[in-house]
Amino acid sequence: MPERQTRHHRQSPWQDNHPPETLPPIRHVTVGHGVRWIGEGWALFVRRPGLWLITALLQTLLILLVMLVPVLGQVGAHLLMPVLSAGLMVVAHRVQYNEPVAIADAFTGFREHAPAVVNVGVWYMLGWMLIVALGLLLGGGAALSGMAVGLETQYEWLGVVISVFGIILAVTISLLLVLPLVMSVWLAPPLAVFHDIPAMAAMKHSFVASWRSLPAFIVAFFLVALMLFLTALTMGLALLVVIPVMGGATFAAYQDLYELPQPAANGEPNLTGSEIADA
């Protein structure tokens, strides 16, 4: 059974009222760690499946209720994502270290460190809005240009080529912009909750940690995207499993990418995560 971490993890780390301290060093990990994070997320799920299923169900219902609100529903859903992710980090922490855990822990983001995680949600929402607006601008402009070429010249096929190529380019650029946005938001909730840092600092450190282990991040990103795509085959029911696995994988990545000190037994010196792995 893994030992509990010092400082922020002696008690409930998200309830400590201590000043921000220097973040632990960032580790560089190899591409295979992206698969390992998903596996560790699954391992956390199977340790307490009932708890995770109820947690995922309640969080999904909350998001669906928010999305029913006209116009503002999509905005509210994007704001909720980091807040609910912070709750999943708390649940994952408690499950990992065999601590008492309740369903209410999944909504810790609404109570503890709420300004930081809500601000992460604000920046996440604004990022998505800018990406969507840019994609529509580029794609719509290409489509209109293609139509104009087809109508005003005898080369209709050229208009079709311009439209298709422009739309493909717009989608490609949008996807490339999504990656840095996700890199910035991915580890921001655990950093904000466990280390008492504001939203922008958490997003900056999340991006740096993701960038330094970019191949592993990309592998995990596409595995999660694949899982989300496959949920369509179950009419969304698989989300009740995918959401906990995603949360557990994010927590595993946070522990893997940062040199979090681990207390040694029998009075031995504290070791970092990488030193324990190398022992």
Residues in the chain, total = 279
Residue 158 burial (CB count, 10 A): 13
Which amino acid, one-letter code, is at 90? Answer: V
Alpha carbon distance 55, 104 (integer Å)? 9
Alpha carbon distance 121, 179 (integer Å)? 16
Residues in the chain where the model's pLDDT stays below 50: 1-11, 13-20, 263-279
Residue 110 has a pLDDT of 83
Alpha carbon distance 13, 8 (integer Å)? 5
Residue 279 has a pLDDT of 42
**pTM strictly above 0.75:** yes
Q: Domain limits of the chain? A: 25-278
Residue 117 has a pLDDT of 84
